[in-house]
A and B are shown apart, each in its own frame.
Chain A
Amino acid sequence: MLRRLLANPIVSRLISSVGTLAGVAVVVFIMLRAIPGNQITASYGIEAAALTDEQRAALLSYYGLDKPLGVQFFSWIGNIFRGNLGVSARAHQSVASLTAQSLPVTLELAIWTIILSLAIGVPLGMLSASKPDSPRDAVGQAVGLAGLSIPAFLLGTALVTVLSKYLGFNPNGAGYAYFTKNPLLNMQQMLLPSLVLAFGIAAPIMRTTRTAILEVRSQDFIRTAKAKGISTRRLQIRHVLGNALVPIVTMTGLQFGYLLGGAVVVEQIFSLPGIGRQVLVGIQQKEYAVVQSTVLLIALGFVIVNLLTDLAYRRIDPRVRAQ
Chain B
Amino acid sequence: MVARKRTSRGIALAAFLSAIALIATGCTPATTPETTPPTQTADTNKTLVIGVTSEADTLFPWKATQFQAVNVMQTMYGTLTEFDQNLAVVPGLAQSWDVSDDGLTVTMHLRQGVKFHDGSTFDSTDAKFSLDAIKNPDTAAVAAASLASVDSVDAPDANTIVLHLSSPDAGLLANLAVINMAMLSSDDTEASLSVTPNGTGPFQFVSSVPNQSLTLKRNDSYWGDPVPLAGVEFRVIPDETSIVAAMQSGNVQMAVFDDPLVAQTAASSTISIAKTALLSYHVLQLNARKGPLQDVNVRLAIQCAIDRQQVLDTAAMGEGEVTGPITSPAYRSDPSSRPCPTRDLTKAADYLSKSAYPSGVTLDTIVSQGEYATSVNEAQNLKAQLADANITLNLEILESGAYVDRWMAGDFDAAVALNGGRPDPDGMYSRYFTSTGNLNMVAGYSSDTLDALFAQGRQTSDPAKRGPIYTQISNELENQAAWIWLFTGYTYTATSSNVQGFIPMANQSMQYLRSTQIS
Given the known interface contacts A43-B63, A191-B20, the answer about A49 and B407 at a Cβ–Cβ threshold of 8 Å is yes
Binds A, one of B210-218, B294-302, B495-503: B210-218
Contact pick for A44, options B142, B195, B438, CB 8 Å? B142
Number of CB contacts from chain A to chain B under 8 A: 182
Query: Closest Cβ of chain B: how far from A267's Cβ, in Å?
Result: 8
Contact in complex: A165, B407 (CB < 8 Å)? no
Which residues of B are found within 8 Å of A51, using beta-carbon distances?
Answer: 140, 438
Distance between Cα atoms of A115 and B141 in the complex (Å): 51
Which residues of A are found within 8 Å of B235, using beta-carbon distances?
Answer: 175
Closest to A115 in B: B16
Distance between Cα atoms of A48 and B439 in the complex (Å): 10
Given the known interface contacts A49-B408, A174-B30, the answer about A168 and B250 at a Cβ–Cβ threshold of 8 Å is yes
Contact in complex: B404, A45 (CB < 8 Å)? yes
Contact of B390 with A by CB under 8 A: no
Closest to A112 in B: B20
Binds A, one of B74-82, B125-133, B241-249, B334-342: B241-249
Contact pick for B401, options A41, A93, A161, A163, CB 8 Å? A41
Contact of A197 with B by CB under 8 A: no
Contact of B261 with A by CB under 8 A: no
Closest to A283 in B: B401
Given the known interface contacts A170-B249, A174-B30, the answer about A269 and B20 at a Cβ–Cβ threshold of 8 Å is no
Contact of B29 with A by CB under 8 A: yes
Contact of B33 with A by CB under 8 A: yes
Contact in complex: B65, A44 (CB < 8 Å)? yes
Contact of A277 with B by CB under 8 A: yes
Query: Closest Cβ of chain B: how far from A123's Cβ, in Å?
Result: 10
Binary CB contact string for chain A from 92 to 112 against chain B (1 if under 8 A, 0 otherwise): 110000100110000000000
Distance between Cα atoms of A184 and B210 in the complex (Å): 23
Contact pick for B140, options A59, A163, A188, CB 8 Å? A59
Contact pick for A271, options B32, B238, B250, B401, CB 8 Å? B238
Most buried by A among B20, B30, B138, B407: B30
Which residues of A are found within 8 Å of B239, using beta-carbon distances?
Answer: 157, 268-269, 271
Which residues of B are found within 8 Å of A43, using beta-carbon distances?
Answer: 57-58, 63, 65-66
Contact in complex: B140, A171 (CB < 8 Å)? no
What is the size, in residues, of chain B's interface with A at 8 Å between Cβ atoms? 68
Query: Closest Cβ of chain B: how far from A148's Cβ, in Å?
Result: 23
Contact in complex: A164, B212 (CB < 8 Å)? no
Contact in complex: A45, B33 (CB < 8 Å)? no
Contact in complex: B399, A47 (CB < 8 Å)? no
Distance between Cα atoms of A108 and B510 in the complex (Å): 37
Given the known interface contacts A55-B137, A191-B24, the answer about A165 and B431 at a Cβ–Cβ threshold of 8 Å is no
Contact of B237 with A by CB under 8 A: yes
Distance between Cα atoms of A164 and B245 in the complex (Å): 5
Which residues of A are found within 8 Å of B242, using beta-carbon distances?
Answer: 157, 160, 172-173, 269-271
Which residues of A are found within 8 Å of B30, using beta-carbon distances?
Answer: 171, 173-174, 177, 185, 188
Contact of A36 with B by CB under 8 A: yes
Contact in complex: B211, A165 (CB < 8 Å)? no
Query: Closest Cβ of chain B: how far from A3's Cβ, in Å?
Result: 44
Binary CB contact string for chain B from 16 to 47 against chain A (1 if under 8 A, 0 otherwise): 10011001100111111100000000000000
Which residues of A are found within 8 Å of B236, using beta-carbon distances?
Answer: 271, 273
Which residues of B are found within 8 Å of A48, using beta-carbon distances?
Answer: 404, 408
Distance between Cα atoms of A122 and B12 in the complex (Å): 17
Contact in complex: A98, B212 (CB < 8 Å)? no
Contact of A179 with B by CB under 8 A: no
Contact in complex: B211, A49 (CB < 8 Å)? no
Chain A, interface SS category = helix
Which residues of B are found within 8 Å of A277, using beta-carbon distances?
Answer: 211, 238
Binary CB contact string for chain A from 13 to 46 against chain B (1 if under 8 A, 0 otherwise): 0000000000000000000000111000111111
Contact in complex: B404, A168 (CB < 8 Å)? no
Query: Closest Cβ of chain B: how far from A113's Cβ, in Å?
Result: 13
Binary CB contact string for chain B from 382 to 411 against chain A (1 if under 8 A, 0 otherwise): 000000000000000011111011011000
Could you tell me which residues of chain A, from 78 to 100, have a CB within 8 Å of some CB in chain B? 88, 90-93, 98
Contact in complex: A52, B438 (CB < 8 Å)? yes
Distance between Cα atoms of A55 and B213 in the complex (Å): 30
Given the known interface contacts A44-B142, A55-B137, the answer about A168 and B29 at a Cβ–Cβ threshold of 8 Å is yes
Contact in complex: A173, B246 (CB < 8 Å)? yes
Binary CB contact string for chain B from 132 to 175 against chain A (1 if under 8 A, 0 otherwise): 00000111111011000000000000000000000000000000
Given the known interface contacts A43-B58, A46-B408, A187-B23, the answer about A168 and B211 at a Cβ–Cβ threshold of 8 Å is no
Contact in complex: B16, A58 (CB < 8 Å)? no
Contact in complex: B57, A170 (CB < 8 Å)? no
Contact in complex: A176, B212 (CB < 8 Å)? yes
Query: Closest Cβ of chain A: how far from B404's Cβ, in Å?
Result: 5
Given the known interface contacts A37-B402, A184-B27, the answer about A47 and B142 at a Cβ–Cβ threshold of 8 Å is yes
Contact in complex: A50, B245 (CB < 8 Å)? no
Which residues of B are found within 8 Å of A93, using beta-carbon distances?
Answer: 210
Distance between Cα atoms of A297 and B55 in the complex (Å): 24
Distance between Cα atoms of A269 and B247 in the complex (Å): 14
Contact of A54 with B by CB under 8 A: yes
Contact of B436 with A by CB under 8 A: no
Distance between Cα atoms of A282 and B254 in the complex (Å): 26
Contact in complex: B140, A58 (CB < 8 Å)? yes
Contact in complex: B251, A174 (CB < 8 Å)? yes
Query: Closest Cβ of chain A: how far from B134's Cβ, in Å?
Result: 11
Distance between Cα atoms of A18 and B194 in the complex (Å): 37
Given the known interface contacts A173-B31, A184-B27, the answer about A271 and B248 at a Cβ–Cβ threshold of 8 Å is no
Contact pick for B211, options A58, A269, A278, CB 8 Å? A278
A52-B144, A169-B28, A173-B247 known; 20 new pairs, CB 8 Å cut-off, are A41-B401, A42-B57, A45-B66, A48-B408, A49-B441, A51-B438, A59-B140, A91-B210, A161-B241, A168-B33, A170-B248, A171-B30, A173-B31, A174-B251, A175-B213, A188-B30, A269-B239, A271-B242, A273-B212, A286-B401
A–B pairs, 5, beta carbons within 8 Å:
A46-B442, A52-B438, A91-B208, A170-B245, A271-B242
Interface residues of chain A, those whose CB is within 8 Å of chain B, are: 35-37, 41-52, 54-56, 58-59, 62, 88, 90-93, 98, 101-102, 115, 119, 157, 160-161, 163-165, 168-177, 184-185, 187-188, 191, 268-271, 273, 277-278, 281, 284-286
Which 10 interchain pairs have the tightest Cβ spacing?
A: A37-B401, A173-B246, A173-B251, A54-B137, A170-B249, A174-B30, A164-B245, A36-B402, A91-B210, A49-B408
